[in-house]
Amino acid sequence: MSVTISPIHEEQGHYWNGQCFRSHGGCGAAVIGQGLRIRQQQQWGELPFICSCYPHISRVENAIVAEGDRAWPLDRVIAEELQRIAPYAKTALRMRRAFTSRVIQCAIDEGITQFVELGSGHLHTSAARAAVIGADAGQEPTIVLVDHDPLVVAYGQGDLEDDPNARHRSAMVRGNVFAVGKMLTYLAKQRLLDLDQRACVLGVDLLHFAEPEIDGRSVPQRLARRLHPGSFVAITHLTDEPLLAPANADDLVALRAVTARWCRAHQRCVPPHPRPCSVEEFARLVADLDLLDPGITTTRCWPEPEETRHPRAPYTLAAVGRIPERRPDASRRGAP
C-alpha cells in the first residue's frame, strides 16, 4: 500500500524543536538540546541519537538528485519543498557531484591514492566513491566514507558486504567528522588511512552544518596539522554572498531571501541544520591551506574562476588546497 503525504506549506507543519514530535508513540527520542549537539560534534565516539520520525538530509538530497528508493515519503516531501523554494537545487547538487569527481581526478593525476569523504551520505549515491572506484590509475585508489547517521552507515556496510569486489577499495565508518584529530587517529589505527602518505580529504557541503559554537576552521586546520604535506583538502560551503557583484540589485536580494528560506526548510530535518557564510568567513576557513588555482571559486566552476553575475541559490563557494610543508619544529604526531 502506498503512502500519500500532502505537500508542506512554509511556516506550517513540524520544525525541529529539540525533540521528536511523536515522543509518545514514535521513536521516543529524548530532548536533544543545542549543548548536547555541540558536545557530540566535538567528540568522535559520542554519537548522536537519531530521531527516526523527522526527515534526514542525506535521504532528502538522495530524493532530489537520484529520486532513490532509500528516501522515505516525508523525505520526498521535503525534497519537493526545497525544489519549490530553489528551483536550481537539483542542478546545484549535480554540480557538487561533478566538482567532487574533478577534485578526485586531479588528486589521482598527482599520484594520490587515499581518499576520505567526510559526511558522505549514502554509499550508493556518493560521487566520491563512484569517482574513486571508476578511476583509471596504475595503483587502485581506496576511499573511506565517514558519516554519523546509523542508517546511512548500516546501508553502506551492507552494500559493501554484497559487493566483495569493492570491499578492499571502500570502507564505511560511523563517527563525528568534526572531531578531526580523533577521527584520523582512529582511521590510522584501523589501517584505513596511512598518515605517512598523501591523501585527499573531501569536506564537501560539510562545514555549514557545524553548530554555531563550533569553529569550522578547526576542520581544515587540524587536517593541515595531521595529514602528510602535499595532501589535498577540498572545502565547500553554502553562502548568500556572491563572489562577483550581481548584474542587478534584485539578484542579490533574491539570493539572500531564497537562501534564508532554503535554510529554514532544512529545519524540518533532524539537526544539524545549514548556515551560510560570507566570502570573508570562507577565506578564513581555508587559510591554513595552499590553495590551488583559481583560489576561492564555486562548485560549478572549479578549477576555473567564478564568472556568473546572476547567482542562484543554493550558491556554494569552493576551494581546493594542498597541505603545506611544515616548519622544522612542527609535530604532526603531537597535534590535536
Q: Where are the domains of the chain?
A: 89-322
pLDDT tens, residue by residue, 266-316: 999 888 899 999 999 999 999 999 999 999 999 999 999 999 999 999 999
Best CA proximity match to 58, nearest among 132, 151, 133, 171: 151
pLDDT value, residue 62: 86
Q: 3-state SS of the chain: helix, strand, coil percent to 5? A: 40, 10, 50
pLDDT the model gives residue 149: 82
| Predicted local distance difference test score (pLDDT) of residue 24 | 58
pLDDT at 336: 44
Helix, strand, or coil (residue 164): helix
Cβ contacts of 259 within 8 Å, gap of 6 or more: 238, 239, 240, 276, 313, 314, 315
- Quickly count helices (H) and strands (E) in the chain: 11, 8
Residue segments in the chain with a per-residue pLDDT below the cut of 70: 1-7, 11-13, 21-49, 67-70, 137-138, 164-167, 327-336
Burial of 119 (0-12, 13-18, 19+ CB in 10 A): buried
CA atoms within 13 A on the CB side of 211: 18
Residue 31 confidence (pLDDT): 53
pLDDT value at position 68? Answer: 56
User: What integer pLDDT is reported at residue 65 of this predicted model?
Assistant: 82
Instruction: Pick one of 1.10.940.10, 3.40.50.150, 3.30.420.40, 3.20.20.140 as the CATH number of 89-322.
Output: 3.40.50.150
Determine the pLDDT at residue 37: 57
What pLDDT score was predicted for residue 335? Answer: 44
Name the pTM for this structure: 0.89
DSSP H or E run through 106: helix 89-109
**Cβ atoms 100, 236 nearer than 8 A:** no
Cell, residue 119: 559526511
Q: What local confidence, expressed as pLDDT, does residue 51 receive?
A: 76
